[in-house]
A and B are shown apart, each in its own frame.
Chain A
Amino acid sequence: MSAQSDLQGFEPKIVGFLCNWCSYAGADKAGGMQTPYPPNVQVIRVMCSGRVDPQFVLSAYEKGADGVIILACHPGDCHYKEGNCRALQRHAMLILVLDQLGVEKERCRLDYVSAGEGEKFNRVIGEVVEAVRSLGPLQLSRENIA
């Protein structure tokens, strides 16, 4: 039916939680390089990836996001020592929970972007947008309960 046609023209909405110290600066660097990247990501600056409560991720889906990106400092580089480790552990558990709820792991990605990695920021954003685009929109069960 119209699944194919629905996908055409579908622009994924992605929420990106970026750590203040590394990844936000990395995004800034990407902007400074003036290489184009997809405009689908709404960036939310957080003081640390460890501040990203899994409730934030679920709320993003609830409010219409098709995917979420959490970008952290590389292991060992956390401004608060181990906030990124906690983010990693939470993310690993969260994607197991999301899988049971039918949300593909491509819709919730954690990666590391340092302040100098503008190119990696571009690449990660591009990969997530394309992965979510091919999955299609996220439809919550609340919308189709009879």
Chain B
Amino acid sequence: MPDKPKLAIYWAASCGGCEIAVVNLHEKILDVDAALDLMFCPCLMDTKRKDIEALPDRAIAVTLFNGALRTEENLEMARLLRRKSQVMVAFGSCAKGGCIPALANFSTREDLFRSIYLDNPSVENPDAIIPCGTTSFPEGDIHLPALLGRVKHLAQEVDVDYYIPGCPPESHQIWNVIEVILSGDLPPKGSTIGCGTLTVCDDCDRTKEDKRIPAFRRNYEFYPDPKACLLEQGLLCMGIATRSGCGAPCTKANMPCSGCYGAPDGISDQGAKMVAALGSVMDIGDTVGLSEAEISGRVSAFLSTIPDYAGLFYKYTLASSTLGGKVGR
């Protein structure tokens, strides 16, 4: 037992879906257990933080770190596990790009506190108490991990060796990565692994033809043709700006890709790339003879059917996007 390389799986600001994806290895989890000593996973096991602190540095062979960095505690655990690990993997879209927790970056921390603790009609808070790191009582001070000003992804705070995208990563890809790790033939540091390099369209076997969309439509409005490209049917399918490797399970289930594998190779900003792609397939009809103002009006009317472009385009990557969230003042 003591000779097996140690594996840690930690969750920071996350939902637990990444752990489920690991368990979804099914019987292969036995192979993982045979080869690696899973010694830290708060979701599944009772190892404590002090047990990790007691380890020598670099004692853990691989840490799969899932979740974004929302609180000071997340930050401390990221730094601790980085110190104790030989290989640090940003596991899943929260650790890679911020994912759902990072949608909070559309607001400032102060805005969040105001709407949750002060201006919320169902909250009675006459003393205007909001979370803070240290609170003083007559008996002494108590400390709770404070919220960071912004949700961050792992690589903003610690050195990351590899990235595995997905919300959650597909189990067959987790297995591929474990095989690579066990083989010892590791890819170059900084690689995004357990995925492809192209887009989800490459995985998706729907029929693709000319893309000219007369209107954007939303999922509830109609039942899409199960054979034809969903984007061509007007759904804002993120597949064109999303990394391949998942096998396109969403489009197979007649749902548009929501972009969880993040940007493909060579793309720095998934949302900007969606704007580029959709801007070139919108069909506003014949504009000959129209004034510039009339053309702009048509474009605005076309775009008005979707209420939240940024939330859709940056659902999984806001923390790692070019602007990183709402700009400051």
Binding site for B on A (CB under 8 A): 50, 53-55, 57-59, 61-62, 74-76, 85-94, 96-97, 100-103, 112, 138-146
Contacts and interface: CB of A to CB of B under 8 A. Distances in A.
Contacts of A61: 322-323
Given A93-B275, A101-B325, A141 B269 contact: no
Nearest to B299: A92
Nearest to A3: B329
B323 A139 contact: no
B295 A88 contact: yes
Interface string B313-329: 10000000111111111
A101 B106 contact: yes
B303 A141 contact: no
Contacts of A53: 272-273, 276
8 contacts: A55-B267, A74-B292, A76-B287, A90-B275, A90-B279, A93-B309, A102-B326, A146-B149
Contacts of A139: 327-329
A50 B280 CA distance: 9
A139 B327 CA distance: 6
A89 B279 contact: yes
Contacts, number: 127
B278 A58 contact: no
Most buried by B among A74, A93, A103: A93
Given A75-B295, A86-B280, A145-B149, A100 B106 contact: yes
Most buried by A among B148, B280, B282, B327: B327
A98 to B, nearest CB: 8
B326 A101 contact: yes
A97 B313 contact: yes
B148 A146 contact: yes
B134 to A, nearest CB: 15
Most buried by B among A55, A75, A112: A55
Contacts of B295: 75, 85, 88
Given A54-B275, A55-B268, A97-B271, A92 B296 contact: yes
Contacts of A92: 279, 296, 299-300, 303
Closest CB pairs A-B (n = 9): A90-B279, A146-B149, A100-B310, A54-B272, A58-B322, A89-B279, A145-B150, A102-B326, A139-B328
Given A55-B322, A89-B284, A101-B323, A141 B150 contact: yes
